[in-house]
Each structure stands twice: as C-alpha cells, then as structure tokens.
Amino acid sequence: QQGILRISVARGGASQGYKPTDTQAAPTVVMHTMPAAPAPSSLTLLLSECRKPPTTALPSRHKTAAGGLNSTLALLEAEAQHCDQPLQLSTTGFVSELASANIFWRIGSRLYTPSLSCDCLQGTTRAAIMRLSPYPTEEVEVLPSVLQDAGAVIACNSSWPIAPISTLKPLGWQWHSQTLADELSQLILQDRDEQCRG
C-alpha cells in the first residue's frame, strides 16, 4: 500500500537479430521500486486514434515491451490534446482499455467491462472488481457510443487502484463517477488489507 514493485524479465543473452542465439542464457530480472502515487481525482479521456494491437499480432494477456510502445504512443497523443489518458479501441472498433488502466461503466444497476476478446489486459484490479462488485458484472464487446448511456465510468489499475472518469473528448460526453469510484475503491482496499493480513 505504500509503494509499487515493478518486475521486468528479459530473455537474457544477446544476438544480432531477433532470434535468440544463446538458448541457455539465464533471464535478466530487474526489480524497480517507487512510492505509490495518489489516485487521480478525475480523468479526462481522449478517444484515441491509436488502436490496440490484436492478439493475433501481439499477445495482450501480458505486459510486453512492444505493447508498452503502443500504450506510450496513445498516451502521448492524449497528452498533446490536454487529456489524462487515451481510450483505446480494438482494431474492430470495440472499447478496449486505457493506456495504463482497464475501464468499467455502469448502466442502470449493471457494471460492464470490455471482454478480453477486445485485446485488453487481464489486469489484477479488473479481476478483483469483477469478484467483489455489488453490481452484476458483464464482459462485453461494444462500440464507444454505448458509453454515452452510462451513468458512471471508472478506470482501474494496481497503482491507483480506481479513478473516476469525468469526460471523453472530443465527443464531450460527461459522467458523474465519483460515487461509484469511492464505492469500489473501498471494496478493493478492504480486500487488499485482508489479503495482507492473511
């Protein structure tokens, strides 16, 4: 709860091209610690032109260097438009995720999040929300227009862990998401405390 530990693993060994020539080389493991940053008070999103690579082109189940480049480019695009995060779509046009967070939205009494078939990361906080949510939760493939009907939209990752989303540019859609963010944040933090004590 006081900081973040990031572990990076590389295959180890060197080669002049992409093919690993030393198959017996030990992997390189780097551990980086940093203080935990406070969750954003709210997020303004940009509907990004930078699409998520499909799983057929790049594995999306794990954080990879190539996937990180895609997220970095989308984040730079959002920052150039004075937005906090990009909302990225799959190559088929479905809502996928933010550059560094999963997304949920509430319509009525149900909670929704993009299906893993939309090439989003299967984040640990995403999984925790699906397990702990007091609302029936469904994984879906939807176009961004569905978000216009949402009463609240939130982003989640292992660092924040939850932040309310207020605006989607350039469409101008707005949401009042603080109550949902507070409700789910409390459940996530209680769950983390129980796991630490256990």
Which of these, 52, 124, 61, 44, lies nearest to 88 by C-alpha position?
Answer: 52
CB atoms within 10 A of CB 122: 11
Residue 80 CA to chain centroid, in angstroms? 20
Burial class (CB in 10 A: 0-12, 13-18, 19+), 109: exposed
Distance CA 57, CA 11 (A): 20
Domain extent listing, the chain: 1-36, 37-197
> What are the residues facing 165 on neighbouring strands?
43, 153
Kindly report the length of the chain: 198
One pLDDT digit (tens) per residue for the chain, 198 residues: 577 887 877 776 666 677 777 777 788 888 888 887 788 999 999 999 999 998 887 766 666 766 789 999 999 999 999 999 999 999 999 999 999 999 999 999 999 999 999 999 999 999 999 999 999 999 999 999 999 999 999 999 999 999 999 999 999 999 999 999 999 999 999 998 888 887
Using DSSP, state whether 56 is helix, strand or coil.
coil
Give me the pLDDT at residue 7, please: 82
Q: What class, spelled out in words, does domain 37-197 have in CATH?
A: alpha beta
For the entire predicted model, the pTM comes to 0.89
Give me the pLDDT at residue 95, please: 99
Strands 28-35 and 43-47: unpaired
